[in-house]
Structure 1
């Protein structure tokens, strides 16, 4: 039995479904531009508009000034990152007889590809466009962890993020431990939440856990954001089996093409914190 008989198109669709389930950071990104990109090197220009000046006066006739030229804003998201795999599978008949080979390979490839994409989204927390909550990394423990989240939420609201907007904080395990200690109502038993890293809610903030939170030697950079703050596009997922010319083995290779960008920096706040 050749590996080519496993119908790669069906396997590719399975990987796409599993990628969606396993992505943590990407789940809360703006993905509306995904249909606009098809190939390596595509760039999506995301337009924004400025705010016109509002003038006021008391009484009298209104004499309008010259019409204002409201400057637009724009950012560009390049779709130029590829994550890929390429592995051999020997003695395919014997291994397949045991059962579970395809599921195991699918799971491993999916998990690693999803992790790489999530890491790149998380790494945006360390870029110039990501505003840090503190001037230096602040030590966080069970005594001040809730206040830290409260302050991040306050800063977002002062940036005119609506009170009813979905706010997501993706935290590392150590931060979650302090949060659970401080906030006993954190709903960790709700099975509806336990998907894609979801672990609970606090003060209208959806809490997620991920080991891919961007970190440096100084501490962690935790994203607190709306779903519009970061754009992400994964327009292409590809897998194919093949027969290496100089090996008596079957092999599988595949890749994902994607790009990500902070597009609404005022809707993103970074908790630059360390375990204290």
Structure 2
């Protein structure tokens, strides 16, 4: 590999391309912090770690009687009830060597992705998923916790999933867009349940598959290996949780110990549960 002087390396490195490439790969790896589970409506406000994301609090309008002759009485309700916020409190850095910065960045956005970028995105996603899962668990236990018998008979286990659905129904959680994140252990048990793998009973027209494994009882079901200990399912709707993240820094540098180029960057993020009544968890004792 040719050795480039520092000015030349700096000229051929384009931070925006690398930030976008890492961010795109990261989004493809997220599960708990993905757009299925969290809303990402406020991430454009992030510039660096420590920033605060400010969210207006919207109240439900009051439904009132209406007289078609007299019309309305009084003024319309103001549904903006102030604002809440959360801090971008997590910072995770990454760094890896590349043989040719110019070659890799010319192909970012196509089908080619350097191994370093792919692996960095996967590790960043795992950290973000574990962080968001902890936030959701802390909030959801205060509202709805269903005790899970992980080794229960298939009918009993199915009833436990039904209990989660009923709990969300009671808080008027929107039916469209519900998710259930399950641990590998729970997923393995469910795969032995005919009602779970039967596409006609799971609400899907296709057999369940890896990744987003299908639908069951009105939930989009996904598998994650980043749930907290003894937590085997988190269910809810993305209106409950706000998540914001950004790749705020990327730069090229020359490692002192190698004749090679290297990339390093910083991923910052934060999350907050805004409406915990739209969450539920399944936990073992």
Instruction: Check if 1:76 corresponds to 2:88.
Output: no
State the Cα distance separating 1:36 from its structure 2 match.
2.4
Matching residue of 2:44: 35
For the 8 Å contact 2:55–2:83, the answer to whether it is kept is yes
Query: Per-residue CA shift, 1:54-87, capped at 9, x if unaligned?
Result: 799xxxxxxx99xx99994754211121111234
- The CA distance in 2 between the partners of 1:251 and 1:108, in whole Å, is 14
State the Cα distance separating 1:145 from its structure 2 match.
2.1
TM-score, normalised via structure 2 length: 0.74
State the Cα distance separating 1:211 from its structure 2 match.
0.5
Matching residue of 1:157: 169
State the Cα distance separating 1:222 from its structure 2 match.
2.2
How many residue pairs align between the two structures?
254
Instruction: Check if 1:273 corresponds to 2:281.
Output: no
| Superposed CA RMSD | 3.7
- The CA distance in 1 between the partners of 2:243 and 2:32, in whole Å, is 10
The aligned runs of 1:110-259 (5 Å cut-off) are 110-128=121-139, 130-131=141-142, 133-134=144-145, 137-140=147-150, 141=152, 142-163=154-175, 165-182=176-193, 183-186=196-199, 197-215=211-229, 219-245=230-256, 248-259=259-270
Query: Per-residue CA shift, 1:135-194, capped at 9, x if unaligned?
Result: 7x432333322211111111111101233x211001111111122222231579959975
- The CA distance in 1 between the partners of 2:25 and 2:207, in whole Å, is 19
Matching residue of 1:61: none
The aligned runs of 1:84-99 (5 Å cut-off) are 84-87=93-96, 92=99
Query: Per-residue CA shift, 1:90-145, capped at 9, x if unaligned?
Result: xx48xx9xxxx96211111111111111111111133145436447x432333322
Q: Residue 197 of structure 2 aligns to a residue in which SS?
A: coil
2:31 to 24, 30, 35: 24
For the 8 Å contact 1:36–1:44, the answer to whether it is kept is yes
State the Cα distance separating 1:200 from its structure 2 match.
1.2
Deviating more after overlay: 243-252 vs 73-82: 243-252
Q: Residue 252 of structure 1 aligns to a residue in which SS?
A: strand
Query: Per-residue CA shift, 1:204-251, capped at 9, x if unaligned?
Result: 111000101122xxx115210112111010133432220135654433
- The CA distance in 2 between the partners of 1:23 and 1:128, in whole Å, is 20
Change (3 A) 1:17 1:53: closer
Change (3 A) 1:203 1:241: same
TM-score, normalised via structure 1 length: 0.76
Displaced runs of 4+ in structure 1, greater than 6 A? 52-56, 68-71
